Amino acid sequence: MSNQSLWFLENIDVTSIFCPNKFGKNMDQHIHKIYKKGEYLYLAEEHADKVFFLTEGRVKIGNYSESGKEITKAILSPGEVFGEMSLVGEEKRRDFAIAMENTTVCAVTVEEMKSLMRNHNGLSLFMMKIMGSRALEMEQRLESLVFKDSRSRIVEFLKNLADKKGQRVGYEMLVRKFMTHQEIANLTATSRQTVTTVLNELRNENILTFNRRRLLIRDMDKLAAQI
């Protein structure tokens, strides 16, 4: 099951909760906004007063090292929530959020979000699952950096990407809007050249095929065996 359909686990429609204006409700606390490619939704150290729901486009979450190098933490797709740490006491943003393409989000103030969590059964559990899964994902990435080589990290990333955002097509897994080689390199702490080499090797072994628009994994078991 993809992360885009995570809310159905709780039998709640997150889109109508975050974006009530689309459904004929007038709630001033909800902001529906469009960002152009390359536009920041927020920057580190800005006041953390909203939670965001991504309805269209893609958003990159990251920060910068002391030397100015960009560190990518996550690339989010429609259906995902971000900025949720403001619910647990984060007063200033630790990361930046930038639109990777023309992007639409619905934003809810922290106070309104807390009210929604009180009034909608299952929403609190939904948000807890998001926070828990993000923490687990960061822990797994840290372990991969320490214990696995570059090739294994890239293969593991591809498998996790298919598990999280893939769509089963027969015996194969399809991931739409595949990332660039540089984006994968940023997320796996490797180089673009290494990502290209690994992807080409996997394609030559007929484990997967890819282009700029999609990734198709032909055999998930063979891919997992490469880790």
Give the domains, in start order, of the chain with CATH numbers: 3-144 (2.60.120.10), 148-225 (1.10.10.10)
pTM attached to this predicted model: 0.81
How many Cα atoms are found within 13 Å in the side-chain-facing hemisphere of 66? 0
Most confident of 32-36, 65-69, 121-125: 32-36
pLDDT-derived band at 7, boundaries 50, 70, 90: very low
Q: CA-CA distance, 147 to 21, in Å (whole number)?
A: 47
Mean pLDDT confidence for 92-104: 96
Our CA angle for 22, 111, 54, nearest 5°, is 40
Residue 44 contacts residue 155 (beta carbons within 8 Å): no
pLDDT in tens, 158-205: 999 999 999 999 899 999 989 999 999 999 999 999 999 999 999 999
Q: CA-CA distance, 12 to 225, in Å (whole number)?
A: 37
